[in-house]
Amino acid sequence: MKTQVGIIGAGPAGLMLAQTLRLQGIDSVILEMRSEEYVLSRIRAGVLEHPTVEFLHEMGAGDRLAREGMPHEGIDLLFRGEKRRIDFPSLTNGKKVTVYGQQEVVKDLIELKKAFDGQILFEATDVRIVDPESDSPSLSFTYQGEQKTLACEFVAGCDGFHGVARASIPESGLKLFERVYPFAWLGILAEAAPAQDELIYSRHENGFALFSMRSQEVTRLYLQCDPKEDLEHWPDSRVWDELHRRLEAKDGFRVNEGAIMRKDVTPMRSFVCETMRHGRLFLAGDAAHIVPPTGAKGLNLAAGDVKLLSDAFVAYFRSGETGPLDGYEAHALKRIWAAQRFSWFMTRLLHKDPGANAFDQEVQFADLDYYTGTEAGRRTIAENYVGLPFGWPGAA
Ligand code: RFL
Ligand code: PHB
């Protein structure tokens, strides 16, 4: 087997890369260790930035998104019982975000890949990157019980935080940065109509809570909890009590209850691997960086990486230019660090830090007052939330 770009991982990063490359006539094969059903049922992100939505349209994956995605023109920050709204269009020259589940993006992209060349091998296991430093790297793997080799010109490691791509770069060459937070999110998906049409981020005495949604019938909710939280201690009744408590607002807002379809705990971490290239291996998406979900940036950062990387591959395959590939890492890191900063900032602004003293807490409330009570503050949040332009800062 042979291809121009061998892609590891059929998450948003790998699928978007395959699609953008295909539109430019560049051939790719995706190796995914999980089954198609598993990949399609993974519930994760929900908020697409303005540049991500444009990018999905450009790559021909925008039809269902345009029909079913829910445009959002603002968010509420709730603290001390009061909701303070951040209005995106008036603060960002008309931009907004779209709520559309990550699994829907993945589904649309899998359908496109299957329709055009069918080159996604699900349940491809034991993937190993062979000779990434050479001009002819390859991927060895097991597929349907047989050992296979895929010869590639380049390898794209789009295999998420726990994948093999980053792990196959020699440790001595890795430049890593990390922060682990002393809390996690307990998330639920409920069969309940969203009680209002915009998201609410709440800073409550008992901890952070987030009200979000997936459709007119499904609400997505999160509660700050301990990273080692045992879901056994969270029967549905306790989850609802705590959500009502943390999301109570003076305007009478109340979450609608419904059957809980899923309950999970997500740890919170900030992580950057600045080494995004090793020979002919390039990392994109969660394989190179993780953000805490408070800024809704993970999937959107993956999209930004893919835009730069696909443009760089196109320049190489069209005219043999290597400059954009050489510049990929440095350029991508600018937007990655900007999103890291915003995700860290939103996390700190909205969570109850178990290590904070009374002084720290008052400073946090002063911050909340400033960022919601002044136009400069609101603009900072709005501009980052709707998404800095791809190619940041060059494209700003
Ligand atoms: P993914 O989605 O993890 O996909 C990686 C794929 O690679 C496969 N894989 C392998 N395949 C072959 N061989 C191996 N050795 C392999 N190892 C792994 C995996 O099976 C998988 O299919 O990474 P990608 O594509 O970089 O996409 C990143 C996003 O998934 C992630 O950043 C977001 O989900 C983060 N995130 C959010 N991002 C947003 O932009 N907005 C949000 O609102 C948002 N909310 C969230 C989130 C993530 C969450 N969790 C569960 C971590 C909310 C939550 C709760
Ligand atoms: C979600 O709907 O899953 C969601 C929304 C906003 C976030 C994180 C997750 O910041």
Catalytic residue, candidates 72, 83, 95, 351: 72
Q: Which protein residues are within 6 Å of ligand 1, measured from CB?
A: 8-14, 31-34, 39, 44-47, 102, 127, 158-160, 163-164, 187, 266, 285-286, 293, 296-300, 302
72 catalytic, yes or no? yes
Containing structural domain, residue 109? 5-72+96-177+269-352
Ligand number nearest to the C-alpha of 199:
2
* 98 close to 48: Cβ distance less than 8 angstroms: yes
Range 131-135 average pLDDT:
97
Beta strands at 125-130 and 259-273: parallel, antiparallel or unpaired: unpaired
The neighbouring-strand residues paired with 212 are 220
210 in any annotated domain: no
Ligand number nearest to the C-alpha of 343:
2
Total residue length of the chain: 396
214 in any annotated domain: no
91 alpha carbon – ligand 1 mean position (Å): 30
CATH number at 297 reads 3.50.50.60
Q: Which protein residues are within 6 Å of ligand 2, measured from CB?
A: 45-47, 199, 212, 220, 293-294, 296
**What DSSP string describes 221-243?**
EEEEE-TT--GGG--HHHHHHHH
Contacts for 107 with CB less than 8 Å, ≥ 6 apart: 40
46 in any annotated domain: yes
Q: Which helix (H) or strand (E) holds 360?
A: helix 358-373
195 in any annotated domain: no
* 186 close to 265: Cβ distance less than 8 angstroms: yes
319 in any annotated domain: yes
50 catalytic, yes or no? no
3-state SS, residue 24: coil
263 in any annotated domain: no
267 catalytic, yes or no? no
Range 291-300 average pLDDT:
97
Q: Which two tokens stand for residue 160?
A: 């998420």
Question: What percent of the chain has pLDDT above 90?
Answer: 96
145 alpha carbon – ligand 1 mean position (Å): 26
Give the C-alpha separation, 346 to 25, whole Å.
40
108 in any annotated domain: yes
pLDDT in tens, 359-385: 999 999 999 999 999 999 999 999 999
Question: Residue 302 CA: which ligand 1 atom is closest?
Answer: 26
* 74 close to 198: Cβ distance less than 8 angstroms: yes
Does 193 score more than 80 pLDDT? yes
**What DSSP string describes 126-138?**
EEEEE-TTSSS-E
* 174 close to 275: Cβ distance less than 8 angstroms: yes
The neighbouring-strand residues paired with 224 are 185
Catalytic residue, candidates 100, 181, 201, 222: 201
Range 203-215 average pLDDT:
97
Give the C-alpha separation, 98 to 52, whole Å.
9
Beta strands at 146-157 and 281-283: parallel, antiparallel or unpaired: parallel
Give the C-alpha separation, 214 to 27, whole Å.
34
Give the C-alpha separation, 257 to 56, whole Å.
33
228 catalytic, yes or no? no
Give how far Cα 340 sits from Cα of 289, 296, 313, Å.
9, 11, 26
293 catalytic, yes or no? yes
Whole-angstrom distance between the N-terminal and C-terminal Cα of the chain?
41
Q: Which helix (H) or strand (E) holds 38?
A: helix 36-40
pLDDT in tens, 109-129: 999 998 888 799 999 999 999
Give the C-alpha separation, 64 to 68, whole Å.
6
Cα 146 to chain centroid distance, Å, stands at 33
Q: How confident is the model at residue 45 (pLDDT cuts 50, 70, 90)?
A: confident
Q: Dihedral of the CA atoms 96, 102, 106, 112 (nearest 10)? A: -20
Q: Give how many domains the chain has, as a whole number.
A: 1
Contacts for 321 with CB less than 8 Å, ≥ 6 apart: 315
104 alpha carbon – ligand 1 mean position (Å): 13
Q: How confident is the model at residue 220 (pLDDT cuts 50, 70, 90)?
A: very high
pLDDT value at residue 386 = 98
Q: Which two tokens stand for residue 387?
A: 């998404």
Q: How confident is the model at residue 2 (pLDDT cuts 50, 70, 90)?
A: very high
* 103 close to 40: Cβ distance less than 8 angstroms: yes
367 in any annotated domain: no
297 alpha carbon – ligand 2 mean position (Å): 9
Ligand number nearest to the C-alpha of 211:
2
322 alpha carbon – ligand 2 mean position (Å): 37
